[in-house]
């Protein structure tokens, strides 16, 4: 059964909204409409609200049925293992005693959790629970603005969770098609002009998340056209290698931690998504620096289909991984 809904991705002042049609069983996704909007940083709050409301009205977005995925710096995740508890006891534990799992003042964060899987450890059934803390200084102004605009979100999810959902679903889909034993271990790198997010999946299950502030605002110019002249191509590759050096270093440390927890085994593959993922030579640079096969986009060359009015540059569709993951959310 195919279901239509509206979804939105918000990162800072950047908004992406889409009307989608989803067939969950087949993991197929059709983008019927898609629009982007960038709020001006220097605008007053009142001006931002009025212009955003006007834009949403122009795009005929239903304000009370929109599902959101958020990407913002400072999100903290913890994967914890607990005895099997009733829903009521789990809620009580992760409401009244959640501070024990964090080193920050948890009063400054909005905390949520979800059960990732049930495992058996030394003969005992246990729950693996992902606990996520979102800084209130990011959430509260955003929520206030949404209320002023008239938005009543049906769902609010985090970009990291949406990426995990997308790649996990695609991993299981590929596994079933190829009759494999278990999904591969993956690193997903979501690359945007104002920062980078890293996500590790252990056999298709959320393992670790982090982000890195980075000023990559000068790089979108290289998305327009791949240099044809050898000297220019070499110059662009050198500039990208230097600019992404902190990203490579951070990811290498991230992967070293994964390997330490897996008896020296590293992830099997790296996937790039996000605004700047289609940069020329970038996947090759990741593969050279990390010595791990690196791919642009999604597992098994999966991609959504698009309505006739939705236009992209050649690889523009890879930018929206977290939006696709939100669309595949089943509740």
- For residue 278, CA distances in Å to 98, 219, 222, 296 come to 39, 11, 9, 7
Give the CATH number of the domain where residue 318 resides: 3.30.420.40
The DSSP string of 282-314 is HHHHHHHHH-S-EEESSGGG---EE-TT----T
The DSSP string of 146-161 is HHHHT---SEEEEHHH
Neighbours of 81 (CB within 10 A): 11
> Which pTM was predicted?
0.92
| Distance of alpha carbon 23 from alpha carbon 196, whole angstroms | 30
- For residue 89, CA distances in Å to 83, 93, 96, 123, 214 come to 11, 6, 10, 22, 40
**143 Cβ contact list (under 8 Å, min separation 6):** none
Domain with 310 in it: 2-327
User: Which two structure tokens, joined as six digits, stand for 307?
Assistant: 């309505």
208, β-bridge pairs: 200
Helix axes 45-58, 136-149, angle to 10 degrees: 60
Helix axes 245-260, 282-290, angle to 10 degrees: 50
| Distance of alpha carbon 109 from alpha carbon 132, whole angstroms | 9
Contact (CB, 8 A) for 186 and 268: yes
How does pLDDT run along the chain (331 residues), one tens digit per residue? 678 999 999 998 999 999 999 987 778 999 999 999 999 888 898 999 999 999 999 999 999 989 999 998 899 999 999 999 999 999 999 989 999 999 999 999 999 999 988 888 778 899 999 999 999 999 999 999 999 999 999 889 999 999 999 999 999 888 777 766 788 999 999 999 889 999 999 999 999 999 999 888 888 888 777 777 888 888 889 999 999 999 999 999 999 999 999 999 999 999 999 999 999 999 999 999 999 999 999 999 999 998 888 876 667 889 999 999 999 998 7
How many domains, in total, are found in the chain?
1
Contact (CB, 8 A) for 199 and 188: yes
């Amino acid at each position: 059964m195919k279901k239509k809904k509206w979804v939105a991705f918000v990162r800072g002042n950047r908004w992406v909204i889409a009307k989608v049609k989803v067939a969950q069983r087949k993991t197929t996704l059709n983008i019927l409409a898609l629009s982007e909007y960038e709020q001006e940083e220097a605008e007053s709050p009142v001006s931002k609200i009025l212009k955003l409301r006007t834009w949403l009205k122009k795009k005929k977005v239903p304000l009370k049925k929109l599902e959101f995925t958020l990407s913002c710096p400072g999100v903290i995740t913890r994967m914890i293992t607990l005895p099997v508890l009733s829903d009521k006891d789990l809620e009580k534990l992760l409401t009244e005693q959640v501070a024990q799992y964090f080193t920050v003042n948890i009063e400054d964060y909005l905390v949520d959790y979800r059960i990732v899987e049930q495992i058996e450890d030394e003969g005992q059934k246990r729950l693996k629970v992902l606990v996520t803390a979102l800084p209130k200084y990011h959430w509260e102004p955003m929520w206030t603005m949404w209320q002023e605009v008239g938005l009543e979100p049906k769902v609010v999810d985090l970009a990291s969770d949406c990426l995990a959902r997308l790649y996990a679903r695609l991993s299981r889909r590929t596994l079933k098609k190829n009759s494999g034993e278990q999904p591969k271990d993956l690193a997903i790198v979501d690359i945007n002009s104002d920062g980078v997010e890293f996500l590790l999946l252990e056999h298709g299950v959320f393992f670790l998340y982090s982000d890195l502030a980075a000023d990559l605002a000068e790089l979108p110019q290289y998305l327009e056209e791949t240099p044809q002249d050898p000297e220019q191509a070499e110059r662009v590759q050198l500039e990208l290698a230097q600019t992404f050096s902190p990203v490579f270093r951070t990811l290498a440390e991230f992967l070293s931690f994964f390997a330490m927890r897996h008896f020296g085994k590293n992830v099997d593959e790296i996937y790039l998504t996000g605004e700047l993922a289609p940069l020329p030579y970038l996947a090759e640079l990741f593969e050279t620096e990390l010595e791990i096969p690196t791919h642009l986009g999604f597992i098994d060359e999966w991609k959504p289909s698009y309505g006739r009015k939705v236009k992209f540059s050649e690889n523009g569709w890879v930018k929206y991984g977290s939006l696709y993951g939100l669309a595949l959310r089943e509740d």
